[in-house]
Chains A and B, each alone.
Chain A
Amino acid sequence: MTRFDIDLGLAKPRAESRVVVAMSGGVDSSTVAALVVESGYQAIGMTLQLYDHGAAIGKKGACCAGQDIHDARRIADRLGFPHYVLDYEARFRRDVIEDFADAYARGETPIPCIRCNERVKFRDLLETARSLGADALVTGHYARRIEGADGPELHRAVDAARDQSYFLFATTRAQLDFLRFPLGGLSKAEVRAEAARLSLGVAEKPDSQDICFVPNGSYASLVGRLKPGAAEPGAIVDLAGRVLGRHDGTINFTIGQRRGIGVAAPEPLFVVRIEPEAHRVVVGPRAALMARRIELRAANWLGALPGEGRAVTARLRSTHPGVGARIERVDATGATIRLDEAEPATAPGQACVLYDGLHLLGGGWIARMAPEAVEAIPGIEPAVAVEAASA
């Protein structure tokens, strides 16, 4: 018996609705595929071949397809719906991996998952689904798509600990129109229970943690390989420019980082600035990190442009719970956000995503986070973060 009926809200009867399910081979997308089938839709599974798994884990001669593609295919076999593997290696390399390495090399801490959603899943895969005559593209993201008065809205998932809406801020309205996220209303425990009930065989599969194309977590070695210049050693300096130590490359550091700096000091030191051209890492006390004003670039708004002065909740990292803020200035492509309370600065390249309660209004890439002049700490250089190169 179906415990969770999935209603995708499509115009056609379910049996006539062709639905593409993006299947990674993990527990979430496998379960969503099974639930879509159980709920009576015509499912088509698609798995993206994004990178050479063997090369990524540094193992020569491994099959080009990882275990995940095999798992996704077996789920489709068992449930009896067609499944295809799309070769997106070239575009993933171009649009996600190289972008990631470029951003790292210029001192940012990028989020490739947002790029992948924006440029691969919701652009190319979605276009493929439309071309195949599909009525919707379903993914296993934990986010809610709710029909509002002015069209579909994106909301945080019911399971706050699992919410992935932050990673979806760059979704356009046209994309959201075609997308469905049935897991947004379920908790992870419920999803695992459903996977077990459906005997999917992936119920106990561990969650993916790292960035998928860097399975061992060694970003520095990947960036070093793609951008050889980025791994040059340099100096670690304090806010006054005094050399405190040496490092093996700015790519090993991110703003706000405290551990692993390798410099002994009476008070804890944080990375407050990265200067890739000078190969310098600037460290300072926590106070030097605190910032209130955020400049956003390449903003995306899912509904109408939010008004200036509007009170919002701002999330500054995927794991950030969100803090009160006000929109000082906004236009279609950018915004200035003022936080109610100062926060430790987030690295450029991360996203600042704005919510009204659970409702995701939009967001942008953090170009710059700065303290306000009036609150500058005496004796400390005010500029905290790097200017991000505009992209």
Chain B
Amino acid sequence: MNAAYLDYNATAPVKPEVAAAVARALDLVGNPSSVHSYGRAARKAVEDARERVAALTGATPAEVVFTASATEANNLVLAGAGRTRRIVTAIEHPAVLKTAQSLPGETVVLPVDGDGVVALEALEAALKNSTTPTLVALMLANNETGAVQPVAEATRLAHDHGALIYCDAVQAPGRLAFSLATLGVDYLCLSAHKFAGPKGVGALIVRDGAPLKSVVIGGGQERGRRAGTENVPGIVGFGEAAWLAPQDLANAPRLARLRDRLESRLLEIEPRLHVFSAKAPRLPNTSCLTMPGVQSEMQVMALDLAGVAVSAGSACSSGKVEPSHVLRASGVPDAVSGCAIRVSLGWATREEDIETFLAAWRALYAGLTNRWRSGISSAL
């Protein structure tokens, strides 16, 4: 059976260079906080990685705070920026939305348009609406649809109104050229495993001068901004992945061609299918689309049994599929979003993977439509 991994927005396969760097780092004996030569060697590895992660975003190394995940970085900035009023968009990742809503103070949730792009007028209105010190959170690209958000414009609005702005850029590295300078944001988070690094390591970039109060208290690691002995192998792998990310950027047009071909071929089979955020600027690797009349969960299971890995909505820890809050916020009826899956490509995706996907999709859809026609099943 052919297999195709097409779930890069969930996590990307680790590149061999990254795996080798992680393996070498596992041999580093020292604690980066130790004075002796072992400690110094470990610290050097962490600081080398910090420079590479900084370079990926155009930040300075001192602006990089390593965390255990992007979720932790989200929690850190939302709780630690010292703003009791937060403006977030309805399409943020739960790590932002739920965290913001769990904190004391006010959280304003902004709507998005039918293409899943934030309405800047709504942001401006929300900023004008209050004099309470505010933090705006806006993702750079949506994980489900790939829709790219107008972060630089939002930054201007936020700063004009004295607000701080935070950007979840987890889906961007290797897929979209960006930098702290062009975005202008005060905070930005990254996750290593989304671009071929190891799982379990992330970073919060804190613009020099932006306030941040630590949430994890203990030793003085990460300049007192995040206590705890550093995940040296993870950080080293993160650095390696950041170093290699520009290769992916060069590869992005190829992915966009594969993605576009996938969509046009499916539209030939079924012209009634929806491709979400197709009219918005989109990540080159992401396609969120429907198989009309077929529940997302059925598609994910059937494709999995055919060796094809995709995802639907945001899977909860139990593995059950919930309706997508992103599509709902974009005004998509649950009956339509309930038939959506996300296909996401990446550095190791080959043309054959797309063919494997297309064959499995076609077989599933043909099988089900035959069943409907023969009247065995009225609807799914």
Contact = CB atoms under 8 A, between A and B. Distances in A.
Contacts of B367: 131, 133
18 contacts: A63-B317, A65-B318, A69-B319, A73-B319, A84-B297, A86-B297, A86-B320, A87-B297, A87-B321, A127-B377, A127-B380, A130-B371, A131-B302, A131-B380, A132-B301, A132-B302, A132-B305, A133-B305
B183 interface: no
Contacts of A63: 317-318
B380 A64 contact: no
Contacts of B322: 87
Contacts of A49: 318, 320
A48 to B, nearest CB: 9
Interface in A64-97: 64-65, 69, 73, 82, 84-87
B298 A131 contact: yes
Interface string A101-130: 000000000000000000000000001101
A128 B320 contact: no
A85 B371 CA distance: 24
B124 to A, nearest CB: 36
B378 to A, nearest CB: 9
B142 to A, nearest CB: 22
A124 to B, nearest CB: 10
Contacts of A64: 316-318, 320
Contact of A128 (B298, B305, B317, B371): B298
A294 interface: no
Nearest to A84: B301
Interface of B: 297-298, 301-302, 304-305, 316-322, 367-368, 371, 376-377, 380
A131 B371 contact: yes
A130 B302 contact: no
B311 to A, nearest CB: 13
A69 B318 CA distance: 7
Interface residues of A, number: 19
A84 B302 contact: no
A281 interface: no
Q: Which of A18, A44, A73, A87 has the most CB of B within 10 A?
A: A87
Nearest to B321: A87
A368 B297 CA distance: 42
Contacts of A128: 298
B339 to A, nearest CB: 13
Contacts of B317: 63-65
A65 B302 CA distance: 23
B341 to A, nearest CB: 14
Interface of A: 18, 44, 49, 63-65, 69, 73, 82, 84-87, 127-128, 130-133
A37 to B, nearest CB: 16
Contacts of B318: 49, 63-65, 69, 85
A139 to B, nearest CB: 18
Given A127-B377, A130-B376, A131-B371, A44 B321 contact: no
A388 to B, nearest CB: 29
A86 B322 CA distance: 10
Contacts of A82: 301, 304-305
A65 B320 contact: yes
A85 B319 contact: yes
A328 B177 CA distance: 81
B373 to A, nearest CB: 14
Contacts of B302: 131-133
Contacts of A73: 319
A127 B297 CA distance: 13
Nearest to A66: B318
Nearest to A124: B380
Contacts of A65: 316-320
Nearest to B367: A133
Contacts of B305: 18, 44, 82, 132-133
A130 B304 CA distance: 16
Contact of B377 (A85, A131, A133): A131
A55 B319 CA distance: 18
Contacts of B377: 127, 130-131
A65 B321 CA distance: 12
Nearest to B301: A84
A196 to B, nearest CB: 28
A84 B320 CA distance: 8
Given A84-B301, A131-B298, A132-B305, 7 more contacts: A64-B320, A65-B318, A65-B320, A85-B318, A86-B297, A128-B298, A132-B301
B340 to A, nearest CB: 15
B298 A85 contact: no
A86 B380 CA distance: 14
Contacts of A131: 298, 302, 367-368, 371, 377, 380
Contacts of A133: 302, 305, 367
Contacts of A127: 377, 380
Contacts of A44: 305
A44 B301 CA distance: 10
A69 B320 CA distance: 10
Contacts of B368: 131
A85 B301 contact: no
A128 B321 CA distance: 15
Given A127-B380, A131-B371, A87 B301 contact: no
Contacts of A86: 297, 320
A87 B297 CA distance: 9
A130 B322 CA distance: 22
A87 B371 contact: no
A87 B320 contact: yes
Contacts of B304: 82
Nearest to A134: B305
A87 B324 CA distance: 14
A313 B315 CA distance: 49
Nearest to A48: B320
B145 to A, nearest CB: 21
Nearest to B379: A127
A65 B367 CA distance: 32
A44 B380 CA distance: 19
A65 to B, nearest CB: 3
A132 B299 CA distance: 9
Nearest to A88: B320
